[in-house]
């Protein structure tokens, strides 16, 4: 694709907005979100505002979807404002979300029947890295579809790995990734909760752990927010807890589908489910530590 290509970004949330802003540095980007405040923020960063998904996607070379789940994916493509009705011949749909292997294969088949390409390209790295082109993107796509989407993906990623030739291959890799991420957050919460109960200075503990073999990206990223989780107002929301309820559910179903036991992932999933039941669904996922050490009244 030439640099002057037009990309429609649908969904300008925590990840969609920085990705749209990053792409606007090099391409013509039209963005749409059901929240007009998000669209206005995108406009301040060089993204052309659209009044609907279909307006954004009409005539676009590529449509990048940053949705939360399968229901939102179906709505974005086939709902009242669904873009499948206005896609240009040969247009490529780039799905950056984690929705599960079977869901992607199902949607890819529908798009293929209509003459469109689906690039299965779930992302990892968080909003800050999305805005600087430092994401990990794992891809499942045919040769033709990958070639069409590659300039866009390369502008967003510092690590771009094509895992296989079919939509769903990217989701499979992201499922493995989310197993580790979900477990690491839960384990970090347990470690810092234990440190606090043992009377240690949790900030010192976090700093010390970061210098040794127990360090991990998730501990370093979520740890500081875990220490803020009991504050009034809680930690800044950068990744909602209910995202990991969804993702660990995807992990569980994938493992069950191949007959593989994942007891550590299952335990982590239960912690997120308990957090959701305690009203933490919209809180930052670091707030899962409060399930282990509830705030004293």
- End-to-end CA distance of the chain, in Å? 59
Quickly count: other Cβ atoms within 10 Å of residue 109's Cβ.
12
Q: Are 170 and 93 in contact (CB under 8 A)?
A: no
246 noted as active-site residue:
no
- C-alpha 282/C-alpha 274 separation (Å) is 13
**Any residues with CB less than 8 A from the CB of 34 and at least 6 apart, and which?**
none
Spatial distance between the Cα atoms of 178 and 98, rounded to a whole number of angstroms = 9
Q: In the numeric block, which tokens belong to residue 42?
A: 């995108």
By DSSP bridging, strand 48-49 and strand 28-32 are parallel
Q: Confirm if 62 and 2 have CB atoms less than 8 A apart.
A: no
Helix axes 241-257, 263-277, angle to 10 degrees: 150
Phi, psi dihedral angles at 163 (to 5 degrees): -85, -20
Name the active-site residue from 38, 174, 222, 246. 174
Integer angstrom CA distances of residue 56 from 18, 123, 291: 17, 22, 42
Report the alpha-carbon distance of residue 46 to residue 116 in Å, rounded.
28
Catalytic residues: 174
């Amino acid at each position: 694709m030439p640099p002057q290509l037009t990309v429609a970004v649908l969904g300008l949330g925590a990840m969609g907005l920085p990705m749209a802003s990053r792409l606007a540095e090099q391409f013509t980007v039209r963005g749409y979100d059901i929240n007009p405040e998000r669209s206005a923020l995108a406009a301040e960063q060089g993204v052309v505002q659209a009044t609907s998904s279909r307006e954004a996607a009409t005539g676009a070379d590529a449509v990048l979807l940053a949705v939360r789940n399968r229901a939102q994916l179906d709505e974005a493509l086939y709902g009242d404002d669904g873009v499948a009705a206005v896609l240009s011949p040969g247009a490529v749909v780039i799905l950056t979300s984690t929705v599960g292997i079977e869901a992607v294969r199902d949607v890819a088949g529908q798009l293929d029947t209509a003459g469109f390409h689906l690039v299965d390209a779930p992302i990892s790295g968080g909003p800050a890295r999305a805005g600087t082109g430092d994401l990990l993107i794992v891809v499942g796509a045919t040769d033709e579809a990958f070639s069409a989407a590659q300039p866009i993906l390369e502008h967003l990623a510092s690590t771009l790995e094509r895992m296989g030739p079919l939509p769903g291959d990217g989701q499979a890799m992201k499922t493995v990734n989310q197993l580790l991420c979900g477990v690491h957050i839960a384990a970090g919460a347990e470690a810092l909760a234990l440190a606090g109960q043992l009377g240690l200075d949790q900030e010192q503990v976090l700093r010390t752990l970061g210098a040794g073999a127990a360090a991990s990206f998730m501990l370093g990223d979520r740890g500081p927010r875990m220490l803020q989780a009991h504050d009034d107002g809680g930690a800044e929301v950068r990744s909602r807890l209910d995202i990991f309820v969804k993702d660990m559910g995807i992990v569980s179903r994938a493992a069950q589908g191949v007959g593989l036991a994942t007891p550590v992932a299952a335990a982590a999933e239960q912690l997120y489910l308990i957090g959701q039941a305690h009203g933490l669904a919209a809180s930052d996922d670091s707030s899962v530590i409060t399930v282990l050490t509830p705030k004293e009244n």
